[in-house]
Amino acid sequence: QVKMVKICCLGAGYVGGPTMAVIALKCPDIEVVVVDISSNRINAWNSETLPIYEPGLDDVVKQCRGRNLFFSTDIEKHIAEADIIFVSVNTPTKTRGLGAGKAADLTYWESAARMIADVAKSDKVVVEKSTVPVKTAEAIEKILTHNSKGINFQILSNPEFLAEGTAIQDLFNPDRVLIGGRETPEGKAAVQKLKEVYAHWVPEDRILTTNLWSAELSKLAANAFLAQRISSVNAMSALCEATGANVSEVSYAVGKDSRIGPKFLNASVGFGGSCFQKDILNLVYICECNGLPEVANYWKQVIKINDYQKSRFVNRVVSSMFNTVANKKIAVLGFAFKKDTGDTRETPAIDVCKGLLGDKAKISIYDPQVTEDQIQRDLAMNKFDWDHPLHLQPMSPTAVKQVTVTWDAYEATKDAHGVCILTEWDEFKNLDYAKIYEGMQKPAFVFDGRNIVDSEKLREIGFIVYSIGKPLDAWLKDMPAVA
């Protein structure tokens, strides 16, 4: 009888939870335990209401929870028992100290590694699942081997490429699985061991193996390339508005070139999410530390354009309404950083709402998945300026009182002067805009930050419509230029 492989994953978040659920589903012969220091999170994973919203996730968890998938707070026990340990803890941007504003904060990572070193009594394969700076594996190796009692630790880098909102689909059918390891016989054996896990459902030619540093860097590189496409198309959107070109036509024409391809070319109010900004800043910092300021500045510009796109949007709203939104009700449809998730980390909606509040607007927010508590917390947080980390811009306490949150799009838009669409939820395409128009102050504006509504239809109803990167209505053209 072959011994059952045991996997333990540290970190039951957006990555650890769905990834381990899919491994458990596809590998009935493997026992998977996901552990976390947050008992609230573990309790939620063990309940009917999972801690994250992700299409298809409930179904996968239901099929294997209690069978070969477990969620626990008993971290030590499960580390001790595991053959393979995934580390999927958070690696946010440092907000203070050396590298503040750019470098990855590896506090959680290091404490996870120390815990493994303390508790392990047998050989382990330790897998970096979190996104980490290139060369992290070397640091982790030092921590593990320094404390080891003759135990063999092999470190692998296995970055995760899933996107939120499509996590289950991405995990079922990944473009590639990337495994980096040491080029020693022990390293190669560890790579093989992890490869066998994925080979349960991923075709062999999609499982790539590389050296450790290539795997670590490829994750940062992939996110930087993806975000760069969005900033490129968003930069074009500003030029389109200035010239009468239409960004959808331009990106369609550009994307038809098979060398460029059609995906990830949607102009928007800006990219959000917990990864893109954090990972590019991390890359920028690594370049600076390696004496490559030109390369650092090149990637920094991707984030600068993203900040510019968000403030350009706010300026457009304010300038269209006679340069003042003071005490005007503005409805915000969508707060999550993209559709099909309740995640609000780095959502452009935070900056847009803060910009409008800075101009004294009253805002009323509706998002199908984000709770009022979450929105209030996000808006009450001081804005962290990555480019000048010492300047925390404090939030005025009165501004927060200008915010209401509803569970209904029609209530949010009632008596509003303008509507800002900030997340591309499908339901916003099919709202009864004639009814919304009736209930609004006139002139009534729609600012479509995701280019999802049919602007011609809305204009027929009577709205003044702004779409990102599209030819401007006469009204908007007549208003002062925005920058």
Handedness of CA 180, 110, 282, 99 (dihedral sign): negative
Distance, CA of 455 to CA of 267 (rounded, Å): 15
Token pair, residue 197, equals 């896990």
Which amino acid, residue 479?
A: M
To the question of whether residue 8 is assigned a binding role by annotation, the answer is: no
297 binds ligand NAD (CB under 6 A): no
In this chain, which residue has its C-beta nearest to ligand UDX? Answer: 273
User: What is the x/- site pattern for ligand NAD, positions 160-199, by CB under 6 A?
Assistant: x-x-x-----------------------------------
Task: State which residue, 140 or 226, has the beta carbon closest to ligand UDX.
Answer: 226
User: Which partner in ligand UDX, ligand NAD, none is near 13 (CB below 5 to 8 A by kind)?
Assistant: ligand NAD
410 binds ligand UDX (CB under 6 A): no
> Which residue's entry shows tokens 């900033």?
231
145 binds ligand NAD (CB under 6 A): no
14 binds ligand NAD (CB under 6 A): yes
Q: Which of residues 293-352 bind ligand UDX (CB under 6 A)?
A: 337-338
Task: State which residue, 90 or 231, has the beta carbon closest to ligand NAD.
Answer: 90
Helix 372-380 vs helix 348-358: crossing angle, to nearest 10: 70
Could you tell me if 7 and 200 are in contact, meaning their C-beta atoms sit under 8 angstroms apart? no
Geometric angle at alpha carbon 159, from 153 and 164, rounded to 5°:
140
User: Which partner in ligand UDX, ligand NAD, none is near 264 (CB below 5 to 8 A by kind)?
Assistant: ligand UDX
Distance, CA of 51 to CA of 388 (rounded, Å): 34
104 binds ligand UDX (CB under 6 A): no
Token pair, residue 3, equals 């011994």
Nearest residue to 57 via CA among 407, 369, 423? 369
Task: State which residue, 158 or 451, has the beta carbon closest to ligand NAD.
Answer: 158
Distance, CA of 182 to CA of 172 (rounded, Å): 27
Nearest residue to 448 via CA among 462, 432, 466? 466
Task: State which residue, 82 or 302, has the beta carbon closest to ligand UDX.
Answer: 302
**Beta strand residue intervals within 401-458, DSSP E:** 403-406, 418-421, 445-448
Stretches 42-50, 273-281, 296-304, 402-410: which one binds ligand UDX (CB under 6 A)? 273-281
To the question of whether residue 374 is assigned a binding role by annotation, the answer is: no
Which amino acid, residue 23?
A: I
274 binds ligand NAD (CB under 6 A): yes
Distance, CA of 103 to CA of 285 (rounded, Å): 6
Residues lying near ligand UDX in the complex (CB under 6 A) are found at: 160-164, 223, 226, 230, 264-266, 268, 271-273, 275-276, 337-338
Annotated binding site: 11-16, 36, 41, 89-93, 130-131, 164, 275-278, 345
Annotated binding site for NAD(+): 11-16, 36, 41, 89-93, 130-131, 164, 275-278, 345
